Chains A and B, each alone.
Chain A
Amino acid sequence: MRPLTDEETKTMFEKLSKYIGENIKLLVDRPDGTYCFRLQNDRVYYMSEKILKLATNISRDKLVSVGTCFGKFTKTGKFRLHITALDFLAPYAKFKVWVKPGAEQSFLYGNHVLKSGLGRITENTMQYQGVVVYSMADVPLGFGVAAKTTQECRRVDPMSIVVFHQADVGEFIRNEDTLT
């Protein structure tokens, strides 16, 4: 377990900033304690200082997970967000998409969000903007990437994809073994 390098930090922040923008600051600089990002097994964990100290008691090879996994670095050096980060992204998300109840299940099974399932969308959403997907009951379901702008979303036919699926809470069940 080690702190992120500058490059890694930058990569990760760039990814996070697609979803929560400058609100990353609130994650890094928290008044309720010191929180930090740590890299372990190519995965980035977000944990408090306390947990960090506790985790030092465990050898690296035995440590499966600590704190909250935000995502992992792929072999190509990109950062991929995991659904476990949703709890931290959802409150700060700038652009949101609400999915109709009928399309919830489809999204939770890993499918993209179609126009027909789009219940509500934040205005001025740009194309390929990272969005957090909510149910109409404002329960965060996952996140994805806007396939179309808000204006386009109004016009496109019902079966066109509006939000590309990236992660959803269904993964907690589907990828239970790999999700750490």
Chain B
Amino acid sequence: MQRLYVGGLSHTVTQKDLKDRFGKFGEVKDVELRTRRDDEGVPYKTFSYININISDADLKKCMTVLNKSKWKGGTLQIETAKESFLHRLTAERQEAAEQRLQQPAAEDKRQKMLNSLSKAGVENFTMKAAVPGTEIPGHKDWVVSKFGRVLPVLQLRCQKGSRARTLKYDPSKYSHNIRKLDRSTTEDEPTPISQLTWELEGGDDDISKKRRGEFPPFEPSRPKKSRTDVLNSHNTMGKSRSKQTVESVDQTEAGQFTNGYEQPASHRLTQRRGAVFDNDIDSDEEIRRMVAAQSTSHAALRQEVDDDNLEVVGLDYLVKSGRSRPQQKGPDDEEENDYDSADTDELLASRKPPPLPPQERLTLSTAEQPSRNGTDKKRKTKKKSKTGEEEDDSADDEDHLTSRKPSSTQHTEDSSKQSKSKKMAAPPVLKPPVQESSSDSDDGDDEDEEEDEEEEEESVDSSSDSDYEAMFSNVTRLEISLADLQRLAEVSQQTTDPSTPGASSEQDTPRRPAKKGTTPEEILASLMDEDSSEDEPKKKKKKKRKAAVSAPLPAFRGMGALNEGSEGEEEEDEQGSKVKKQKLESEAPQLNQRAKHMETEKKTSESSEDEEEEEEEEEEDRVATKVLKVVPTKAAVNTKKAETSSSSSSGDEEEEEEEEEEESSKVTHTVLTAKVAASSSSSSSAEEDEDELISDRVAVKAAPPPAPDSESSTSSSQEEKEKQAPPRAPLGAKEEEERQRKANMRRLAAVQQRQKEAEEHKKLIQGALAKLDAPTAGAGKHIVFGSDDDDDEDDQDKQQTTSEVTASKKALFEDSQSEDETTVKDNDTVKEKLMELQSRFGRDERFRMDSRFLEEDEDKDEESEKKRSVTEEDESLEDERKKNLSILQSVLGSSQQTCSSKAAAKGKTFRDVSALHYDPSREEHAAFETKTDKTKESKSARRKKREEAQKLPEVSKEIYYDVSGDLKAVFGRTKEDNAEEEQKANWDQDEEEEEETKDEQPTLLSSLLSADPSAEKEESSGFKFSFFGDDTETENKETEEYKVESIQAPKVSWQQDPRFHDSSSEEDEEEQEENEEQSNAVAMTTQGSQVLLSFLSPGGAEGAVGGEEERAQTGVPQETQGCQEEAEVLPEELRIMGCLRVSVWTDSAS
């Protein structure tokens, strides 16, 4: 029995074929044919196993014959194979069964073993109450293991490496779990061999079919053309392919297929076209499909683009420093806010500027708040006054009073409130000027406006924008009043110094007279005052902060003093107009007070004045200590007086002087007078109050309040004064006026007296000063002013100022003289002033001097050092740098000229931004300054530009005339003769107009024309167009008499007429424009109208003759005159509508 393997069979071989083939060599029992197929079911290998009864000789023979023989297209390969496993299995089973039959001995052996174990006390392989590890007696290899189990000791044989060794496994030590195998299960009959093999049951499903080797007929798998695939292909193609020439036809096709899809960007359009038409696709279907795909893709793209807020910036994008971030807010504002909370405050501030952030509000000075309140009130009241000025005065007053009451109660403590009430009290004086101003010249208005603006700008810091606007709204009225005031003051002080400090001081004038407004207008005025004086508290604060009182403030007050002095005169002027009775009444109390004051002054005369002065000095001492912190000696006080407000601290007696010395602008003096009066008349309590007030008054604006105090004498509070004001008003105005007049007269007399005395004093002081060494005398009023300048200016300027100081000393002391002060005192004062000045200047000047000297020294040292040492090193460094630059040049490849360090310094400079500070002394930093001058200067230029721009339309008009000319040529030629005749009547009117307008400026024109016809403007020289060719020119020459007719040649288009352009002034040009427009029309019909013109306007040549006269002379019929009015309207129309109308009109006329 042999089992043969036969390989290399053809697929078509059957079992029968094999049986027949191998049957020759032996008995074929079984043929097992197998075919291997690939996954598609194609057989690629067929072989078979054959069980055959064959002898060895036959086998050999069979092998030699059949092996490697060709049979049915295949080469047979025959080998002996192993026996089939099923056969072997059956054989083994048979053998095992035979062995079992032969093994009864083994059974017995086992039984014996069990028996012997049981004898040893082992029951079912367990021995109870035995210590693990004890051997079973009689059984050498059996031990008791855990849980009393009896187990055999195993000898395991393990082979490690080359040599094997036995290993003893003691179950007593290891075995915890043992599984007992049941013997009976193992002894079951094995499954019959025939059942060991089986076949897969197959259904009709694909898998079972494939398992069985049955495959469905082959169909090539179609790649699915999804849209994305198409897209990808398009994109890749569009990108990869170089752009081919796009056919226009294709483009149009694409346009059709876009289905109205809007391209977001142009570049996308091109891209799409490229994508579409780079492909070699011709059929419409395909194109359509692609376009649709494309559109969707683009939509997606666009959406994506929209989604991401990617920002692309240019190369010149300016990076702001991190500090300035809050201002620079991109689209991610909120994001930034979210992630950076540090700057929220800044953000808040920047976002809502009008309402001040709470912190700021807190930081605002308490003095500013009341002022704001005041503005609010002002607004309210302003509204009221606007709505109805006829409203009851009393009602308004009540409002005012009620509103002010709470604040005024605490006035002694609250200086700001006092100032406010001061402002409230200010109005009455303002009022008259307001009324007068309507007729007044606005000379000073501009200045005033500027002043106001400046002041208000200062106050803007504290007040919101709305406030600012509100304030500004009032400005105009205020200006006017101020201008009037100034004018009045000047009028009154004709005898004294006419050069008043200027509008700057005018601002304070309204505040001076402390009065309560009774009429709505007065209230308004007071409100305006509030506006202007809003910044007062600030100033005060500033002053307190700075030891040195700034000069500009006193300057402001000077005018106030001036006005005060002139108030009486003002009133005198006002007396003339009885309309202002009310105001006079309201002013009366103050005037009375002042008059009284004057009287008292006069009475007391110099002796009493001395006393007063002492009082003053006491007060001033306080002031000095509080404000200036200078040693409060009398001398110091004096110096202080001189310096702070630059007002001579003379006191009441010096009013006259002050009036004279308006330049010095001392308001403080008035304050002082008020104080004096108050202190003298009022009780000690009042004095105390005033002491408190003094600190506030240092700024000088407190003048008004004390004055009323002095009158009332019982109380110094403003409110009370206000209350008292109305009752006082009813007093006989005229009586009071007279009294005032008298008082003024007296005062003037006293003034003159004092002037004389003052001159004497001056002389004395000058003599004393002459003995003093010049350098020490660094004090002077001018210095005070100059000092401020010095702060800003350079050292050189300082030196100049110092020299100025010495020079101006005299003038200074002239100003500061006081009647009562003796020369000795003056000397003291001089010294004190010097000290003061030095102490004040010392800081800056010394510092500067030191710094300057130091700088110089350093520079010198450095220079010398550098000269010595730097030469070599620097040279090396310089070489290195040059080398670097050359290398850089090579690297960059660009031909940049290697600039030396100096050249580089001039050119692009390295700016360390962090170290950049504005330094006014450096010229480069002028770039950071905002220059206001330029704008002013450029106004004229701007105007010119504007006018030039306005001129431009002319050109277009003339261009148009070309068209009209053509039209006329087209339409009008045929009936030219008739048209011209008809036109005559119409064009007459125009010509007459012309003549009229001409006559307005004939003198100019004629003179200019005759003078220099050669002067042509270049601008109009370029283009010449003559509709009628040379006719016009010839006409002009022919009709030289009619210079007016020269209008026929319009400015630009037709030809240059020098006569028109001679007029240099622009107004003339404008007039010319009008003329030109008219003349344009005329020029069209010159031929027709020439005759008419010639006899119409003989006088035009002379120029100065009026149109009416002309008409009379020429005898133009009435009809034309009547028509002329129409014609007058027409030119306007022409101007408005432009040339079109002209042409139409002419056509219609023709």
Contact = CB atoms under 8 A, between A and B. Distances in A.
A14 B874 CA distance: 26
A89 to B, nearest CB: 12
Interface string A1-37: 0010010011001100100011011111111101011
Of B314, B878, B891, chain A has the most CB atoms within 10 Å of the CB of B891
A80 interface: no
B927 interface: no
A153 B308 CA distance: 11
Given A13-B888, A124-B315, A102 B335 contact: yes
A26 B908 contact: yes
Interface in A133-158: 134, 136-139, 150, 153-155, 158
A118 interface: yes
A154 B340 contact: no
A56 B941 CA distance: 61
Contacts of B912: 32
Interface stretch (B316-324, B462-470, B668-676): B316-324
Contacts of A122: 312-315, 317
B1149 interface: no
A138 B322 contact: yes
B888 A36 contact: no
B888 A24 contact: yes
Contacts of B904: 25-26, 29-31
A178 to B, nearest CB: 26
Contacts of A102: 335, 339
Interface string B303-336: 0110011111111010111100100101010011
B910 A31 contact: yes
Interface in A147-173: 150, 153-155, 158
A22 B893 CA distance: 10
B403 interface: no
Contacts of B885: 25, 28-29
A3 B308 CA distance: 48
Interface stretch (B427-435, B494-502, B894-902): B894-902
Nearest to A151: B267
Given A30-B910, A34-B877, A120-B330, A134 B319 contact: yes
Nearest to A104: B339
A6 B313 contact: no
Contacts of B880: 3, 36
B65 interface: no
Nearest to B876: A3
Contacts of B312: 120-123, 150, 154
Contacts of A139: 322, 325
B873 A53 contact: yes
Nearest to B330: A136
A43 interface: no
A36 to B, nearest CB: 6
Nearest to A97: B313
A29 B328 contact: no
A96 B313 CA distance: 9
Contact of B891 (A13, A36, A95, A119): A13
A90 B312 CA distance: 18
A9 B321 CA distance: 31
Given A120-B312, A120-B330, A28 B322 contact: no
Interface string B321-357: 1100100101010011011100000000000000000
A139 B340 CA distance: 13
B57 interface: no
A96 B317 CA distance: 9
B322 A137 contact: yes
A53 B876 CA distance: 13
Nearest to A134: B319
Contacts of B308: 115-116, 158
Interface residues of B, number: 51
A138 B320 contact: yes
Contacts of A136: 330, 332, 335-336
B887 interface: yes
Given A98-B311, A120-B311, A31 B887 contact: no
B313 A119 contact: no
B301 interface: yes
Contacts of A10: 887, 890-891
A77 interface: no
B240 to A, nearest CB: 16
Given A36-B877, A101-B335, A120 B310 contact: yes
A110 B361 CA distance: 45
A146 to B, nearest CB: 12
Contacts of A31: 901, 904-905, 909-910
B473 to A, nearest CB: 40
Interface in B897-922: 899-901, 904-905, 908-910, 912-913
A96 B314 contact: no
B888 A25 contact: yes
A95 B908 CA distance: 19
Contacts of B311: 98, 119-121
A36 B873 CA distance: 12
Contacts of A120: 310-313, 330
B892 A123 contact: no
B80 interface: no
B883 interface: yes
Contacts of B315: 94-95, 122-124
Given A17-B891, A22-B892, A37-B884, A123 B314 contact: yes
Contacts of A153: 310
B310 A13 contact: no
Of A94, A101, A158, chain B has the most CB atoms within 10 Å of the CB of A101
Contact of B894 (A22, A49, A98, A158): A22
B315 to A, nearest CB: 6
Interface in B112-149: none
B881 interface: yes
A49 B310 contact: no
Contacts of A26: 904, 908, 910
Contacts of A34: 874, 877-878, 881, 901
Interface in B172-225: none
A121 to B, nearest CB: 6
B328 A138 contact: yes
Nearest to A56: B873
Contacts of A119: 309-311, 330, 332
A136 B317 CA distance: 13
Contacts of A134: 319
Of A31, A115, A123, chain B has the most CB atoms within 10 Å of the CB of A31
A4 B472 CA distance: 66
A30 to B, nearest CB: 5
Contacts of A94: 315
Nearest to B884: A28
Contact of B305 (A49, A95, A118, A154): A154
Contacts of A118: 310
A87 B360 CA distance: 35
Given A28-B885, A49-B877, A122-B312, 6 more contacts: A22-B888, A25-B888, A34-B881, A49-B873, A122-B313, A155-B301
Interface of A: 3, 6, 9-10, 13-14, 17, 21-22, 24-32, 34, 36-37, 49, 53, 90-91, 94-96, 98, 100-102, 104, 115-116, 118-124, 134, 136-139, 150, 153-155, 158
Interface of B: 301, 304-305, 308-315, 317, 319-322, 325, 328, 330, 332, 335-336, 338-340, 873-874, 877-878, 880-881, 883-885, 887-888, 890-892, 894, 896, 899-901, 904-905, 908-910, 912-913
18 contacts: A24-B888, A24-B892, A25-B904, A26-B904, A28-B885, A29-B904, A30-B904, A30-B910, A34-B901, A37-B884, A53-B873, A101-B340, A119-B311, A120-B311, A121-B310, A121-B312, A124-B315, A137-B340
Complex A-B, nearest 9 residue pairs according to Cβ-Cβ distance, in ascending order:
A31-B905, A120-B311, A139-B322, A137-B325, A29-B904, A101-B339, A13-B891, A123-B312, A28-B884
